[in-house]
Structure 1
Amino acid sequence: MKIAKKIAIVLLVVLVGMQFYRPEKNVATGDYVAAFETETNPTPEVKAILKTACYDCHSANTEYPWYNNIAPVSYWLADHIEDGKKHLNFSDWENYDAKKKDHKLEELIEEVKEGEMPLKEYTWTHGDAKLTQEQINALVSWAKDARANY
């Protein structure tokens, strides 16, 4: 029992320590998706879908929920955001070449159609990010039209 108590104390100390050393937040100022939206010209409906279901993890700005202030959740969210931006970063759109833009839109279509995006973990706490079939169709149609430019 002494070992279990020592382990519990060490874990508690680590957990408390994690509260003071949090990952950097993904927060931008200004219009962080302007270049992307100007170039791809999404409809107002698609803009709303992108804002609700995509931009938190795939842009330079995240609207954090209250529970992000609690470690280890803050670390878990930071990892998800970093991974999301690695795959597609709408804020970095202007730095992609035409071939990469086409490929990213192709992946967007595939992931949305297959129900892989937005992630289930995200939609658990962001119910409005669950896409209806109508929203999926609108997003896919827009992305196919945008791909024609590349």
Structure 2
Amino acid sequence: MKKILIILLVAFIIIQFFPIDKTNPPVNPGIDFLKIKKTQPEIAKLIRTSCYDCHSNETKYPWYSSIAPSSWFLKNHIDEGRKNLNFSTFAMYEPERQAHKLQECIEMIEKEEMPLESYIVGHQGAKLTPEQRKQLIQYFKQVKAETERSMVF
């Protein structure tokens, strides 16, 4: 048993030499969702607090992002989040894709799938109240409708 614990400790120490890259891609405010959609400060704060760490190029890495293997899980989660929806590059999406992403936001918030429970554990401020969920859903529906009206068919 002692041998196994020593091996596990040595393995844990060794994996610390393989850190994640915490470099955020550059941010261009001219293509950021909150800027281009002229989001009201109250709603913008909700989106920043509950969404931006995983769905933008403005990730604020927590202390545990320096400890493997949790850092690897975190980095993968952020990469997947940005791949699925990146608010920092929202203006680069075609209008049809913007509308689709907004619909996905609505559905994920309605089903309480976002923000993820695993994220909320470490970020209690990201937990949305029923009223905040309602506000975000209403806001995303409004922006989606505006986006659809602006599409050329």
TM-score per shorter chain, which class?
A: 0.7 to 0.9
Maintained 8 Å contact 2:31/2:89: no
Q: Distance in 1 between matches of 2:92 and 2:122?
A: 32
Q: Distance in 1 between matches of 2:26 and 2:9?
A: 36
* Match status 1:115 vs 2:104: no
* Percent of aligned positions that are identical: 41
1:57 to 45, 54, 79: 54
2:138 to 129, 134, 141: 141
Q: Distance in 2 between matches of 1:62 and 1:26?
A: 9
**1:35 Cα deviation from its structure 2 partner:** 2.9
**1:14 Cα deviation from its structure 2 partner:** 2.8
Q: How does 1:3-22 map to 2 (within 5 A)?
A: 5=3, 8-22=5-19
**1:57 Cα deviation from its structure 2 partner:** 0.3
Q: Distance in 2 between matches of 1:30 and 1:82?
A: 16
1:124 alignment partner, SS class: helix
1:23 alignment partner, SS class: coil
Q: Which moved more, 1:108-117 or 1:60-69?
A: 60-69
Structure 2 unaligned spans of 5+:
149-153
Q: How does 1:83-98 map to 2 (within 5 A)?
A: 83-98=80-95
Question: Which residue does the alignment assign to 1:42?
Answer: 39
* Match status 1:70 vs 2:64: no
Maintained 8 Å contact 2:43/2:135: yes
Instruction: Give deviations 1:41-89, integer Å, cap 9, x for gaps.
Output: 2211110001100000001121111121111111111011011112111
1:67 alignment partner, SS class: helix
**1:8 Cα deviation from its structure 2 partner:** 4.5
Structure 1 unaligned spans of 5+:
none
How many pairs were matched up? Answer: 147
Q: Distance in 2 between matches of 1:13 and 1:32?
A: 45
